[in-house]
Structures are given as structure tokens and as C-alpha cells.
Amino acid sequence: DAKTTQPTSMDCAEGRAANLPCNHSTISGNEYVYWYRQIHSQGPQYIIHGLKNNETNEMASLIITEDRKSSTLILPHATLRDTAVYYCIVRVGNTGNQFYFGTGTSLTVIP
């Protein structure tokens, strides 16, 4: 599975959009991009995943560049409860394989 690179930490003002970048320059054609977050010491929470098209759900939007070498997770209106560590993971889709969690981005939403 491809390696990902994320900034260690980010701040975002409450109510503003939080844009979390992820580089995955060695991604292969059949690998999906997944995003999870971990709030404090809870179990990771699934956010969204995609292959090549942009995706949107009730939690977030995922923008994947045309060459698929990077992506951005967008939380449109960040709240204090969005403070968490966000993990970007790439994995061959629907294979059941493990997820490789890196160190993620620690997002702090500031009042």
C-alpha cells in the first residue's frame, strides 16, 4: 500500500472550512483514498473514501487531484467537536486488507 504524507498539525477557526491535505505520490491505479479521524482516545471514525472522483457525504468532501497524487479532506464548517487526529490512508479497495495508519494530522478547532 502506498505511503501518505500529512502535516503534523493544523489549526482552524470555528465555523470556517478545514482543509486537510494529503500527499500520496506513489498511489497505484487500484488504490482508494480513505479518511478516518480519532477523537481523543476513542476508536477511529470512518469519514469518507474515494478512487478518482470527488466525493461528498454528510460529514465531509474529498477532493482528489486528477493525477491522484494528492487529495484534500474538507470539513465545510468546522466545530469544536471536529478537533481530532485525521488519518489519510491509501489501500487497494474492497480487498479486506489492513489499513496502515500513519501519524495523521492533529486538527485543533479554535473558538
Partner 1 sequence: NAGVMQNPRHLVRRRGQEARLRCSPMKGHSHVYWYRQLPEEGLKFMVYLQKENIIDESGMPKERFSAEFPKEGPSILRIQQVVRGDSAAYFCASSPRGAEQFFGPGTRLTVL
Nearest Cα residue to 39 out of 110, 111, 104, 93: 104
With a CB cutoff of 8 Å and minimum separation 6, the contacts of 41 are none
- Count other Cβ atoms within 10 Å, centred on residue 60: 19
Considering only residues 12-71, where is the footprint of partner 1 by CB under 8 A? 34, 41-46, 49
DSSP conformational letter for 31: E
Which of 40, 58, 96, 111 is the binder for partner 1 (CB under 8 A)?
96
Which of 13, 52, 100, 110 is the binder for partner 1 (CB under 8 A)?
100
Question: CB under 8 A: which stretch of 9-17, 63-71, 73-81, 87-95 binds partner 1?
Answer: 87-95
Which of 31, 87, 90, 109 is the binder for partner 1 (CB under 8 A)?
87
Residue closer to partner 1, measured from CB, 34 or 109? 34
**Is residue 94 a contact residue for partner 1 (CB under 8 A)?**
yes
Nearest Cα residue to 23 out of 67, 60, 56: 67
Check the CA dihedral 74-53-7-83 and report its sign: positive
- Using CB under 8 A as the criterion, which residues of the chain lie in contact with partner 1 when the complex forms? 34, 41-46, 49, 87, 93-104
